[in-house]
Structure 1
Amino acid sequence: MKYVPLGRTGLDVSRVCLGTMTWGTQNTQADAEAQIEYALANGVNFIDTAEMYSIPPNAESYGKTETIIGNWLARNPSRRKEIILATKIAGMGLSYVRNGGPITGEAIISSVDASLKRLQTDYIDLYQLHWPNRNSPHFAKHFPGHISFTDVDRVAHSEQMLDILRGIDACIKAGKIRHFGLSDDSTWGINEYLKLSEKHDLPRVASIQNEFSLLHAKDWPYLIENCVHEDVAYLPWSPLAAGALTGKYLNGARPEGSRWSYAQRNGIFRDTPLVDKAVTAYMEVAKKYQMTSAQLALAWCDQVDGVSSTIIGATSLEQLKEDLDAFDMTLSPEALDDIMAVFKQYPLPF
């Protein structure tokens, strides 16, 4: 396993981050513990979760994943030091989470306490904002006309961000969290937080996790270049495009128990005719180089310049083993050329 800096935190994280959002709905406590043990045994030291998990999010599943991790930590307290543990505060819009209200400094403080209780730990290594208070171009809102930037009150949102930073600062000074990061945000969001933290001597953003894959690479090059030069770790989530790049959803297939067999909060927006065509083509490339299509997609993501640690999730131990093997694979220049030939045909299929 290779390790990389988590921004300027002084922490080194594995190139693979174990995502956990299925634990509690698609996966049991026993499933989760088997994945944790296997990941740790294979050099993974980075685990990502969120108060909103498990998914699909609803009032019943809220907090289940943190609770599962907490149960493991309670039985293995000496192993807490082996893990860089990341979690996230949910943004506005979920009626059962703070009445659907926005992220505030006060919400940060109360939510950190709640996560610590569920996780059964004294501190969180990386505390992230799951999505910003303003609309951001994620979850199929990246096409022109889907959201309006000019309607955003920049001053008001900057003031909210300053309030959030002060809440983060209070939690860091109390020893409850070590560092903070963003999720589903934009270049402007990163830079506004950097500007505010420098101006007011408040904690510096360490990382951002956004959706990034062969089917959804909109952060390349501009946001990723910004991350590289500002020392903000870039953490791709959904590198398999919610499982689409495995090929298991081709032609409308919905394997029993798979993620797409559940109702999704934002709909199954990755299910398009162009996605089917792109995935079919990537599967042919993978076959040519004697790897699975999932491994091809993950190895490609890992080799993108500027990517720090890729967040993977699995609903079975077999999937986790297959996925982890991808990070020991090196794509040849010829393989990369073949991948790019497909990418140029289908640069934005959803």
Structure 2
Amino acid sequence: MKYSVLGCSGEKVSRVCLGSMTWGLQNNQQDANQQIDYALAQGVNFIDTAEMYAVPPSPATYGATETIIGNWIANNSSRRKEILLATKIAGGGLPYIRSGSPISGESIIEAVDGSLKRLQTDYIDLYQLHWPNRTSPHFAKHWPGSISFTDVDRDVHEQQMLEILQALHTCIKAGKIKYCGLSDDTTWGINTYLKLSDKYALPKMVSIQNEFSLLHAKDWPYLIENCVHENIAYLPWSPLATGLLSGKYANGNRPQGSRWTIAQRNGLFRDTPNAHAATAEYVEIAKSVGITPSQLALAWCDQVDGVTSTIIGATNLEQLKENIAAFEKPLSEDTLAAIQQVFNDYPVPF
């Protein structure tokens, strides 16, 4: 296993981050225990979760994933120090989580305490904002005209961000969290937090996790360049585009128990003709070099300059083994060139 530094935190994290959002819906406690044990045995030291998991989110599964991880920690307390544990506070919009209110200083304090209790731990290594209070160009809102930036009151949002940083500072001083980071945010969001941190001597965001894959590379190059030069760890989520890049959804297939058989909060917006056409070509490249389509997509993501650690998920142990193995050997220059040709034909397929 290879390791990278998590932004300005100085902490070393595995190039593979174990995602957990299926635990509590598609996976049970036993499944999660197996995945954690296997991942740690392979050198993975980075686990990501969120208070709103399992996914798709619902009142019935809110907090379920953190609870499952907490049960593992309680039964393996001596191994807690082996893990850099990351979780996230849900943003506004879910009525069963703090009445759908936006993130505030008060909600940070409340949510951190809730996560600590479910996780059965004294501290959280990386505490992230799941999405910003303003609408950001994620979840298929990256097309021009999808959202209006000029309608946002910058001063109001900066004041909210300052209040959030102050609450995070309180939690860090109390020993409840070690570092803080972002998710589903933008270059402006990163830099505004950094500016406020410098101005008011508050904690710096050390990381950001955004959707990033062969089918959705909107953060390259501008946001990733910003991350590199501002020492912000870049953590891709959904590097397989919710399983699409595995090839399992080809020709309208919907394998039993797969993500696309479960109603999604934002719909199946990745299910487009161009996305399937691009995937079919990536599948052929993978076959030609003797690896699985998932391994091709994950290895490509790992080799993108500026990526710190890629968040992977699996619904069974065999998938997890396949995915972790993708990081063992880099793709050749010829394979990368073949991928680039397809990417050039389908740069924004959904």
TM-score normalized with structure 2 length: 1.00
Aligned position for 1:12: 12
1:155 is aligned to 2:184:
no
Task: Write out aligned runs for 1:1-350 (5 A).
Answer: 1-350=1-350
Q: Distance in 1 between matches of 2:113 and 2:294?
A: 37
1:136-177 CA-partner distances (Å, limit 9, x unpaired): 000000000100000000000000000000010000000000
Deviation, 1:238, is 0.3
The list of structure 1 runs, each at least 4 consecutive aligned residues, that deviate by more than 4 angstroms after superposition, is: none
For the residues of structure 2 that align with 1:252 and 1:147, how far apart are their CA atoms? 31
Distance 1:328 1:73 in 2: 28
Distance 1:330 1:196 in 2: 39
- SS of corresponding position for 1:110: helix
In structure 1, how many angstroms separate the alpha carbons of the residues matched to 2:172 and 2:106? 14
- Seq. identity, %: 71
SS at match of 2:180: strand
SS of corresponding position for 2:324: helix
Secondary structure of 1:220 counterpart: coil
User: For 2:284 and 2:140, how far apart are their aligned partners in 1?
Assistant: 27
| CA distance, structure 2, for counterparts of residue 147 and residue 34 of structure 1 | 42
Q: What is the alpha-carbon distance in structure 2 between the residues aligned to residue 164 and residue 77 of structure 1?
A: 31
Give SS of 1:295's match.
helix
Aligned to 1:166, the other structure's residue is in SS state helix
Q: Shift of residue 334 of structure 1?
A: 0.5
Q: CA-to-partner distance for each residue in 1:64-90, whole Å, 9 max, x for gaps? A: 000000000001100000000000000
Quote the offset at 1:2 in angstroms: 0.6
Shift, 1:101, TM fit: 0.2
Q: Which amino acid aligns with 2:179?
A: H
CA distance in structure 2 between the partners assigned to 1:248 and 1:284 by the alignment: 13
Shift, 1:273, TM fit: 0.6
Q: Kindly state the Cα deviation for residue 10 of structure 1 after the two structures are TM-superposed.
A: 1.7
Instruction: Work out the CA distance in 2 between the residues paired with 1:330 and 1:15.
Output: 13
CA distance in 1, matches of 2:175, 2:53: 24
Q: CA separation in 2, counterparts of 1:329 and 1:59?
A: 41
SS in 2 for 1:8: helix
C-alpha separation between the residues in 1 aligned to 2:336 and 2:147? 34
SS in structure 2 of the partner of residue 199 of structure 1:
helix
* Structure 1 stretches lacking a partner, 5+ long: none
Q: Which runs of 5+ in 2 are unaligned?
A: none
String of CA shifts for 1:43-70, please: whole Å, max 9, x gaps.
Answer: 0000000000001100001000000000
Distance 1:242 1:79 in 2: 30
Distance in 1 (alpha carbons) for counterparts of 2:308 and 2:203: 20
- The amino acid that maps onto 2:27 is N
Instruction: Tell me how far 1:240 sits from its aligned partner.
Output: 0.3
CA distance in 2 between counterparts of 1:241 and 1:97 reads 26
Output the amino acid matched with 2:297: A
1:329 deviates by 1.8
TM-score scaled by structure 1? Answer: 1.00
Between the aligned partners of 2:254 and 2:334, the Cα distance in structure 1 is 33
C-alpha distance after superposition, 1:220-251 (max 9, x if no partner): 00000000000000000000000000011112
Structure 1 position 330, deviation (Å): 1.1
Tell me by how many angstroms 1:27 deviates. 0.2
Deviations for 1:180-235, whole angstroms, at most 9, x for unmatched residues? Answer: 00000000000000000000000000000000000000000000000000000000
